[in-house]
Structure 1
Amino acid sequence: MAKSREILNQFLGGLQEVGKTNPEQVNAFMNLLGAAYKPGALDVKTKELISVAIGAYNRCEYCIVFHVYKALEAGATREEIMEAAMVAVAFGGGPTMAYTVSLLKESLDEFAPDFNK
């Protein structure tokens, strides 16, 4: 199993496990996500592309992996995801580029076949 899928599974499994002992907090977080990603003036794909950029800018491994997966699931192309990340590089410089050309690229390589992109 490659690193990106391991990170994704670790995050999702952690949410489930912590949800058993802290259901109120985990449910509140999940409800916030549900509200934030509900289609409105922006569609889900656009919101996921924004999330990819924010994750790359913040250098959050879990955010990068999760939102690359969700962006692909929402119909984003490899080119759209990389372009969103490059906007983040304009703000975050070298550290953001490092995460983009490594973990973000690896996540695209690993997850894109799941969505035939």
Structure 2
Amino acid sequence: MSEHTHHHDVLNELRPQHRALRTMIPDVYRGFAELSNAALTSGALDKRIKELIALAIGVVAGCDGCIASHAQGAARAGASKEEAAEAIGVTFLMHGGPATIYGARAYDAFCEFADAETNTAAGSPR
């Protein structure tokens, strides 16, 4: 595992919290999962672009869990670092100063997951 795993840690920290809540409201989680799958499935926009949009919204919302999840999704969908940076750049226009903070976090998250995808594709362990 690389020395830069903060955003992986965010997802790992949230996993048991989601699991506990999901046992209490399984139908809500199931409905959200269906919505998420439908919204992120390739159509006129491919999954890569949709994940970048979700990443940008995570920046504007200031949601580290959203940033980590959609940075991972964008990396897995094949987005490049340049595409992630440009999508994050739009958040600066639309959200100003706060986006520069969460945007930097989002770019770091994307690079962490993109590098992990590259290492996995090259046969290296994560």
Same fold at TM > 0.5: yes
Output the amino acid matched with 1:109: C
Aligned-residue offset at 1:17: 2.7
Secondary structure class of the residue paired with 1:71: helix
Aligned-residue offset at 1:112: 1.8
Aligned-residue offset at 1:10: 2.3
Secondary structure class of the residue paired with 1:84: helix
TM-score scaled to structure 1, two decimals? 0.89
- 1:38–1:60 distance in 2 versus 1, CA, 3 Å: same
Alignment size in residue pairs: 116
Q: Which moved more, 1:88-97 or 1:1-10?
A: 1-10
Counterpart of 2:95? 92
Aligned-residue offset at 1:57: 1.4
Q: Is the 8 A contact 1:49 1:71 kept in 2?
A: yes
Counterpart of 2:124? none
Q: Which whole-Å deviations, capped at 9, do the CAs of 1:79-100 have from their partners, x for residues lacking one?
A: 1011100001111111011111
Q: Distance in 2 between matches of 1:68 and 1:45?
A: 10
Counterpart of 1:83? 86
Identical counterparts, % of pairs: 33
Counterpart of 1:59? 62
Q: Which aligned segments of 4 or more residues in structure 1 are displaced greater than 4 angstroms?
A: none
Q: Which whole-Å deviations, capped at 9, do the CAs of 1:30-57 have from their partners, x for residues lacking one?
A: 1110111122111100101111111111
Output the amino acid matched with 1:41: A
Superposition RMSD in Å: 1.7
Q: Is the 8 A contact 2:47 2:77 kept in 1?
A: yes
- 1:42–1:4 distance in 2 versus 1, CA, 3 Å: same
Describe how 1:14-25 pairs up with structure 2 within 5 A. 14-25=17-28
Secondary structure class of the residue paired with 1:11: helix
